[in-house]
Amino acid sequence: MADGRDITREIRDMSDRPTTVLLIEDNPGDARLIREMLAEGGGARFQLERVVRLSAGLEHLANNDIGLVLLDLGLPDSEGFDTFVKTYAQAPRVPIIVLSGLADEQLAIKTVQEGAQDYLVKGHVDSHALVRTIRYAIERKRMEELLRESETQVRKLFEAIPDSILVHDDEGTILHINEIGAELLEWSAKDLVGRNLREIVTPENRASVADHIKETFKVGWCRFETTYVSRSGRQIMVEVNDRPIKFDNAKAILRVARDITERKEAQKELQRSYHKLRDSLIVTVNTLASTVEMRDPYIAGHQRRVTILACAMAEEMGLTEEQFDGLRMAGLIHDIGKISVPAEILNKPGSLSETEFNIITTHSQAGYNILKEIEFPWPVAQIVLQHHERLDGSGYPQGLKDGGIMLEAQILAVADVVEAMASHRPYRPALGIEVALEEIVKNRGILYDPKVVDICTSLFTEKGFAFA
């Protein structure tokens, strides 16, 4: 039986050499994506080998040293839970992560209860989450194997892993904790044994302790974030992975907790930096909006009024915060390209010639050319480029049709038409809101998105919206 030095050396060696991951997946697109995700998140730490049939996978497991299996349950020669059962039977000591296209909670619970390390749904996991899950799966599987050997081996493993690891019973009483975990809480391991988890978390997290215990025994695992409090009162944010085990022949939970305080503080700082950048961009956008309005007295306020209407429509339609912010920024400067249009054309009181109109239509592309070099966190340049596109392809500058036009641009297009028709222009007096609404309703589904038109008309006729 290995002593503490052997276990420490084994852990160090595992971190130094690539882990062989066997992917049993018949979909080439999914396989390619997983390979890219592992390369992005894990670099050279993983060596991926792939087979497309379960029979080939079982043979590969029998003849090769595999560190982990990524298993699709839908294969040409096996389907569903039975696929997992056969794989687990072939290699019960190899950690298995199910990668399924089905968000089936019952199937997920069943596979984990029967020995899977995790159940991930394709399309709902990124590279970092996948790599983190693999690493945790390998660690958990190794811990499970050592737990089966002896309680002594468990204690040695506890002291070798650089995370806080403890075991507690079904009431939350701490039965064992490694030295690293005790040091994190500024206690000795001996003093923590016998205390309850509620004593080492912040008051607002105490009520959730029982819920996490219940979830762990019900589902077979529980993953969450909480905040520990040390002996001196220092708060420590941790990422927790709980899993049911047997300890001294009794029902218990193994908890691996990673200190993420620095990461959380870095995220907060990143968020603060994002808001500073956002505020700076808003100032820049307002400056650009003022610049174009100074050249064209008839357009003064147009961009802001269009933005107010577009944002009201976006709110009614339930756009995401990111879409809403991008639309607002684009609306405030959607006519920035008119800087390139001669003032005598912009302010001409009579009808425009064909040549003059063609010059006017260049402003969307000109605006895009101005904005594309600014690193907005939203697709502002694209929205500006598309705000004169129409569903039937009659718009400009690209002649895009339904399906090729961004939703934000379609909202901006309707708001732009309504405000322009309702306001005074050099070549005609204001036509009024009623005429503007008749225009968009008449061309509903032809030029303008039907849902956008319905929301716009509802704002004016039912919800009392009016331009200030």
- Please give the pLDDT value at position 123: 86
Q: CA 438, CA 441: separation in Å to the nearest integer?
A: 5
Q: CA 107, CA 257: separation in Å to the nearest integer?
A: 27
Number of domains in the chain: 3
Q: Are residues 209 and 121 in the same domain?
A: no
Kindly report the pTM of this predicted structure. Answer: 0.47
* pLDDT value at 324 more than 90: yes
Q: Which of 129, 151, 173 is the last residue of a domain?
A: 151
Q: Are residues 55 and 82 in the same domain?
A: yes
**Percent residues over pLDDT 90 in the chain:** 60
Q: Are residues 445 and 313 in the same domain?
A: yes
Please report whether residue 361 resides in a domain. Answer: yes
- Please give the pLDDT value at position 25: 95
Q: What is the CATH number of the domain that holds 146?
A: 3.40.50.2300
H or E segment and range at residue 90: helix 81-90
Residue 71 Cα distances to 80, 87, 118, 221, angstroms: 11, 9, 11, 19
Q: Which of 227, 259, 291 is the last residue of a domain?
A: 259
Q: Are residues 228 and 271 in the same domain?
A: no
* Enclosing domain of residue 441: 264-461
Bridge partners (DSSP) of residue 166 are 177, 255
pLDDT one-digit tens code per residue, 364-408? 999 999 899 888 889 999 999 999 999 999 999 999 998 899 999
Please report whether residue 442 resides in a domain. Answer: yes
Alpha helical stretches, state H, 179-320 = 179-184, 189-192, 208-219, 261-295, 302-317
- Please give the pLDDT value at position 227: 96
Please report whether residue 468 resides in a domain. Answer: no
Q: Are residues 237 and 285 in the same domain?
A: no
Please report whether residue 157 resides in a domain. Answer: no
pLDDT one-digit tens code per residue, 235-285? 999 999 999 999 888 999 999 999 999 988 888 888 888 788 777 777 777
Q: Are residues 371 and 423 in the same domain?
A: yes
In the structure, what pLDDT confidence band is assigned to residue 157 with cuts at 50, 70 and 90? low
Chain centroid to CA 187: how far? 37
Q: For residues 412-419, give the mean pLDDT.
A: 96
